[in-house]
A and B are shown apart, each in its own frame.
Chain A
């Protein structure tokens, strides 16, 4: 049973059904709007009302009754919509509305009053979206009912993977209708000043409508949107809280990093010996250690800069992230700082490569200084051991395992055949003793040692090859000449080799190595100390076992190598 409303129409008192009445009011409102600034508005309205009533009565053909929706609609057809009249603003929105009483759905084919249709363009519709507006955009483009498209999309999505994939692709690929021009193109209307004006009015009215009638849009769309809003309402604070936690941790991390950094730099700056086995083995401070390797052709500044950049980069990065997360919102220059910190780090890393490249250049050429030491021909039984490089307080040899040591004193080198390189020779005196140069300054001991025991048909001999590298052949030669090693040998055949090689600190470590070759005549015996074992290389051994097993045992040198005596 429809409720009826009583209505005054141009002096007549009539009864109308509820929906008919609503439609009538709609129509009258649209006329009122249309006649907004027109003179004699009230009179026109009353004329139209009267005519409306007249036409209704005519329809009933004399019988009285209640005004139905159909009555209203047919009279509206006769009277026409305001935009069809000769005067007043042309308004296609109120036009359609007054005709049908509902908001125009895109895809309705009706005349936009003099607009030229333009080819439709596919956009995502932000106004009618649930997720990304893909369905709405498609509905507009193909002129289909939105509900239909949504159902199809949902079915495709649920029952095939293609549906979801296609939706995602479209979501990314199809642009969102952002401007009024976009939204016009979405409907297939040409973009002109007039159409833009109309569209803006339409959209304004649509918003007005929504505010007045919140139940206007479809039920399920509304509930879905509400659900999304609720879910977001719960999720958002949780995520924000999490973000704050991470931000706090990052902030702590940054502070810890800064403190650690400060400590390291302090140590570095103070030149403190980072003692035995803590950071660098032996009594070499970090600074000294780096300076051993730093290529002379590269400025130290590069190293410092690289260090600074490598540290500043991550520091700024963490700090910026921490601030952002704690604040919960981006701040000015957030993006810029992030990029800056990353680039800084990358630059630092690149700069770090420079010393490596230069160092490679610095050891390009190799040279060797050889010394041949003939041994006592009366001896036929040898003992080979190591001269301890350092002794502790009790006079016991200190284990020189993988260490570098800096000794500040004078030392002597062998005469050098090549040109003198000014770098290493700046504190040199010629000693009165022939063939001896005295160099004052710190020297480095490194146990870069290699020992070979080789059979020979001639007499017993000890050969020392002091190898070194340099930027040029000449530099390599100088370095190998200024590096030194030593040995002792007595008449009983006891030989002790120095457990290392030393060179001036100013030379820097450039692959200096002491290589000893002990030529043992075939048939003669030898016993070597265990401490030599790690330095033995390329020594032929008869039998398939490592040379280390022969340590401490008397062996005989044969043509094919060492053989255990008594075996």
Chain B
């Protein structure tokens, strides 16, 4: 029983890993956001279990030029990063969306 559950968790985690970047892009594609808002949205969609997963990804995407941020002052504490998609990021988002649809179609086609 324990083994069963663990395997299911694993499967979900594996699936999430592939698609997290796309999720981040989609959220930011709607509007600019703080990291914490991003986290909330992803958590609500059950795409994120632990927050720490996000940070390395964000930095990598920023270094790749897909994201950008600016510092925003905050009343209760130090300045916070405010993320937005770059033009390149927009382009990537469109490509990834297309890829995602193709991917899910392919999986769906296997069982019929």
Known: A47-B55, A51-B35, A84-B52. 7 other contacts (CB 8 A): A40-B63, A47-B35, A79-B52, A80-B49, A80-B50, A84-B49, A85-B52
B76 close to chain A: CB less than 8 A: yes
Known A47-B81, A50-B78, A54-B36; judge A79-B60 contact (CB<8 A).
no
B 37-57 contacts with A by CB, 8 A: 49-53, 55-57
B56 cross-chain contacts in A, Cβ below 8 A: 35, 38, 44, 85-88
A81 close to chain B: CB less than 8 A: yes
B53 cross-chain contacts in A, Cβ below 8 A: 80, 84-86
Instruction: Give the residue name and chain of the A residue nearest to B34 (CB).
Output: A54
Instruction: Give the residue name and chain of the A residue nearest to B79 (CB).
Output: A11
B51 cross-chain contacts in A, Cβ below 8 A: 51, 78-80
B3 close to chain A: CB less than 8 A: yes
B17 close to chain A: CB less than 8 A: yes
Contact A43 B36 (CB under 8 A): no
Distance of A48 Cα from B57 Cα, bound (Å): 12
A111 close to chain B: CB less than 8 A: yes
Distance of A193 Cα from B77 Cα, bound (Å): 47
B59 close to chain A: CB less than 8 A: yes
Distance of A78 Cα from B52 Cα, bound (Å): 8
A 44-69 contacts with B by CB, 8 A: 44, 47-48, 50-51, 53-54, 57
Contact B50 A78 (CB under 8 A): yes
B10 cross-chain contacts in A, Cβ below 8 A: 114
- Identify which of A11, A82, A84, A86 gathers the most chain B CB atoms within 10 Å of its CB: A86
Task: Determine how close the nearest CB of chain A comes to the CB of B68; give it in whole angstroms.
Answer: 13
Distance of A40 Cα from B58 Cα, bound (Å): 10
Listed in ascending order, the chain B residues whose CB lies under 8 Å from chain A are: 3, 6, 10, 16-17, 20, 35-36, 49-53, 55-60, 62-63, 76-81
Task: Determine how close the nearest CB of chain A comes to the CB of B64; give it in whole angstroms.
Answer: 10
Task: Determine how close the nearest CB of chain A comes to the CB of B107; give it in whole angstroms.
Answer: 21
Q: Pick from A11, A38, A50, A80: contact of B52, CB below 8 A.
A: A80
Known A39-B63, A50-B80; judge A81-B50 contact (CB<8 A).
yes
A 79-132 contacts with B by CB, 8 A: 79-82, 84-88, 111, 114, 117
- Identify which of B16, B50, B58 gathers the most chain A CB atoms within 10 Å of its CB: B50
Task: Determine how close the nearest CB of chain B comes to the CB of A360; give it in whole angstroms.
Answer: 77
Task: Determine how close the nearest CB of chain B comes to the CB of A476; give it in whole angstroms.
Answer: 90
6 contacts between A and B (CB under 8 A): A31-B52, A39-B63, A51-B51, A53-B77, A57-B77, A85-B50
Instruction: Give the residue name and chain of the B residue nearest to A34 (CB).
Output: B56
A80 cross-chain contacts in B, Cβ below 8 A: 49-53
Distance of A53 Cα from B76 Cα, bound (Å): 11
Contact B77 A11 (CB under 8 A): yes
Instruction: Give the residue name and chain of the A residue nearest to B76 (CB).
Output: A57
Q: Pick from A44, A57, A82, A88: contact of B59, CB below 8 A.
A: A44
A10 close to chain B: CB less than 8 A: yes
Contact A54 B50 (CB under 8 A): no
- Identify which of B20, B50, B56, B57 gathers the most chain A CB atoms within 10 Å of its CB: B56
A12 close to chain B: CB less than 8 A: yes
B81 cross-chain contacts in A, Cβ below 8 A: 47
Contact A43 B59 (CB under 8 A): yes
B63 cross-chain contacts in A, Cβ below 8 A: 39-40
Contact A117 B3 (CB under 8 A): yes
Q: Pick from A40, A50, A117: contact of B60, CB below 8 A.
A: A40
Contact A48 B60 (CB under 8 A): no
- Identify which of B55, B58, B76 gathers the most chain A CB atoms within 10 Å of its CB: B55
A79 cross-chain contacts in B, Cβ below 8 A: 50-52
Distance of A87 Cα from B52 Cα, bound (Å): 10
Contact A44 B55 (CB under 8 A): yes
Distance of A53 Cα from B78 Cα, bound (Å): 10
Distance of A44 Cα from B20 Cα, bound (Å): 17
Distance of A43 Cα from B59 Cα, bound (Å): 7
B77 cross-chain contacts in A, Cβ below 8 A: 11-12, 53-54, 57
Contact B60 A11 (CB under 8 A): no
Known A11-B78, A12-B77, A117-B3; judge A47-B59 contact (CB<8 A).
yes
Distance of A78 Cα from B55 Cα, bound (Å): 13
A117 cross-chain contacts in B, Cβ below 8 A: 3
Contact A40 B59 (CB under 8 A): yes
Contact B20 A86 (CB under 8 A): yes
Contact A111 B6 (CB under 8 A): yes
Task: Determine how close the nearest CB of chain B comes to the CB of A527; give it in whole angstroms.
Answer: 113
Distance of A307 Cα from B107 Cα, bound (Å): 90
Distance of A85 Cα from B48 Cα, bound (Å): 10
Known A39-B63, A50-B80, A54-B36; judge A86-B50 contact (CB<8 A).
no
